[in-house]
Amino acid sequence: MELTGRISLRDNRSLSKDEFARASEICSAIRKLVDSRADFIAGKGLDPAIALPGNNWDPEADQPFLNRYRHIVAAKYEVINRLRLYAQFSSFDLVTQSMVTGGREVPEIPEDFDERFEKQFPKPDHWIDRYRMITRFVPADIRARFPRVLGEIGWEIDGHPVNHDVYAYQERINLMFESGLIDELRRRVRTNGSVRILEIGGGYGGLAHALTGLLHGAVKYTICDLPESLLSSAIYLGVTHPRLGHRIYDGADPANLSVPDEWLGFRYVPNYLFDDFCGLGEPVDLAINTLSFPEMTEAQVRYYGQRLKGLIGGGGVLFEQNEDGRWMGLLDCKTILAESLACRHPILPKTIPVISKGRADLWSMEPFEMIVSPERRPFGGAGLRIRLRVWRAFCLVRAPGLGLVRLRQALQARLSPAVFRGLKKIWNLFGGRMKA
């Protein structure tokens, strides 16, 4: 896994005229959805507590998302062409290379951005090290590749950019691989021609891109999200997967949501129209929620839990990676999901020394062992498991920063949210920088 240099804006290809025209159409479609949302919800008698953005997305909250949405939807070429610098969903800001959880600023990208950036960040950060660690034990066809387009900046490994977000999505892919899910999805593709994936809260579409790549495009991938975020995923995936179908659902006619068996591609469903998707009665092979449920209100998570129960039914699975957000005034979504979903199967990482955020679980309506038998999972041999355990311990010694993250996670899991919040305050008082 050779690091061969850096990837700057100048190394990104620019969007073509046609690509920009398509992105502009997406901006108009999404703007219409957002502008008519309140009337639509009232007209249909939908529950505003479920349908309107809540919690972290409340327009009154201290949150960086809304202004970024407004910046992107204005459809200027120089903004769309560098979408990844504005569409920030992982808390990690590519421009400042730091965690941003509040504030209203939208980054300014000067003409000499590359020169300034390279001076300010001359060396690869620890996410690059961590990426190399977690890809060490997974086969090459389990590595997600992100293209040099739309402002993807980072360090070049095996010819592709790597940065915090690439790390984060690779981590999720590793967890799915370790649990045997990727193998099971590939088996279903061979049998049925494609798999149905539903992602609730898909951000800019990074994980959707990664999974679609690993499954060679054989997906019917539905993203249910706030329209403000569908803007970024529809543009990103439209550019990175031009040969697949792309449909933005506007609620005019539920028939527009149904697709023929041979259809492959992405459907973008605004959160307040999710019941129309559920009404199709399509079973879902894999549902996904990562770092999103805690952002929502309790009522919203309960709503999704109840619907996921029917969607994943017998053979489907929900992959969920979230943290207990109570210490920062958000939710512990796992207790709410347990009200609706019968079986919980924690994934204890083998190829990841320290998981970046939260804990990963597979939820299903029948024991996960009946969906993917333990013998079909990788890393089954005792010798290899011991080797991986020793390797993970060694990584913590080699990178003491990781050891601290591990300690923080252990405390977070064991202490009450109030005590953990107090501890965080004291830590930061003495110069620590624990944000989220």
Ligand X SMILES: C[S@@+](CC[C@H](N)C(=O)[O-])C[C@H]1O[C@@H](n2cnc3c(N)ncnc32)[C@H](O)[C@@H]1O
63, 81, 222, 229: which one binds ligand X (CB under 6 A): 229
Nearest to residue 23, comparing CAs of 94, 95, 78, 105? 78
Residue partners of 203: CB distance under 8 A and separation at least 6: 87, 89, 90, 225, 229, 232, 233, 292
* Under rule CB under 6 A, residue 291 binds ligand X: yes
- Judged by beta carbon, residue 8 or residue 306, the one nearer ligand X is 306
Please report, for residues 69, 145, 182, 280, the alpha-carbon distance to residue 83 in angstroms, rounded to integers and kept in the order given.
11, 18, 29, 32
**Residue 197 near residue 221 (C-beta atoms within 8 A):** yes
Q: Near ligand X by CB under 6 A, which window of 30-38, 141-149, 236-244, 290-298? A: 290-298
Token digits of residue 160:
């592709």
68/392 with CB nearer ligand X = 68
Shortest Å, Cβ 400 to ligand X: 27
- For residue 226, state whether it binds ligand X (rule: CB under 6 A): yes
Stretch that binds ligand X, among 2-10, 22-30, 289-297, 360-368 (CB under 6 A): 289-297
Closest approach of Cβ 197 to ligand X, in Å?
13
Taking the least distance from each CB to ligand X, the nearer of 149 and 200 is 200
How far is Cα 372 from Cα 355, in angstroms, rounded to an integer?
A: 23
Sheet holding 160-162, edge to edge: 3-7, 154-157, 160-162
Q: Of 219-227, 257-265, 363-371, 388-396, which part binds ligand X (CB under 6 A)?
A: 219-227
Least Å distance, CB 280 to ligand X, is 18
Q: How far is the CB of 93 from ligand X (least distance, A)?
A: 13
Query: DSSP per residue over 83-125, as a string?
Result: HHHH---SSEETTTTEE--S--------TTHHHHHHHH--S--
Residues whose CB falls within 8 Å of the CB of residue 234, separated by 6 or more in sequence, listed in order: 26, 30, 205, 246, 248, 266, 268
Which region, judged by CB under 6 A, interacts with ligand X, from 183-191, 198-206, 369-377, 420-428?
Answer: 198-206
Q: Are 287 and 196 in contact (CB under 8 A)?
A: no
Binding flags for ligand X, 292-331, as an x/- string (CB under 6 A): x--xx---x-------------------------------
Q: Which stretch binds ligand X (CB under 6 A): 218-226, 236-244, 307-315, 389-397?
A: 218-226
Min separation Cβ 383 and ligand X, Å: 34
Any contact of residue 236 with ligand X (CB under 6 A)? no
CB of 203 to ligand X, least distance (A): 3
Contacts of residue 422, defined as CB under 8 A and 6 or more positions apart, other chains included, come to none
- Is residue 378 within the footprint of ligand X (CB under 6 A)? no
* DSSP bridge partners of 289: 320
CB 248 within 8 A of CB 265: no
Report if residue 200 touches ligand X, rule: CB under 6 A: yes
Which is closer to ligand X, CB of 24 or CB of 91? 91
The phi and psi torsions of 142 (rounded to 5 degrees) equal: -110, 5
Nearer to ligand X, 52 or 405 (CB): 52
Binding mask 83-112 for ligand X (x = CB under 6 A): ------xx----------------------
First-to-last alpha carbon distance for the chain, in angstroms, is 30
Q: Is 173 in the site for ligand X (CB under 6 A)?
A: no
Q: Which is nearer to ligand X, 185 or 296 (CB)?
A: 296
Query: Quick check: 57 binds ligand X (CB under 6 A)?
Result: yes
| Between 212 and 271, CB nearer to ligand X | 271
Residue 380: burial class (beta carbons within 10 Å; 0-12, 13-18, 19+)? exposed
From residue 338, how far is each of 306, 365, 370, 415 by CA, in Å?
10, 11, 19, 21
Residues 105-164 that bind ligand X (CB under 6 A): none
Kindly tell me which of 180 and 201 has the beta carbon lying closer to ligand X.
Answer: 201
Work out which of 154, 180, 203, 325 binds ligand X, going by CB under 6 A: 203
- How many whole angstroms from its chain centre is CA 122? 28
Residue 93 or 225: the one with the smaller Cβ distance to ligand X is 225
Measured between alpha carbons, how far is 214 from 142 in angstroms, rounded to an integer? 7
Asked if 271 interacts with ligand X (CB under 6 A), we say yes
Q: Where do we find the tokens 């502009």?
A: 24
Q: Indicate which single residue of 163, 240, 290, 364 sits in contact with ligand X (rule: CB under 6 A).
A: 290
CA–CA distance, 154 with 256 (Å, rounded to integer): 39
For ligand X, the binding residues (CB under 6 A) are: 53, 57, 89-90, 200-203, 224-226, 229, 271, 290-292, 295-296, 300
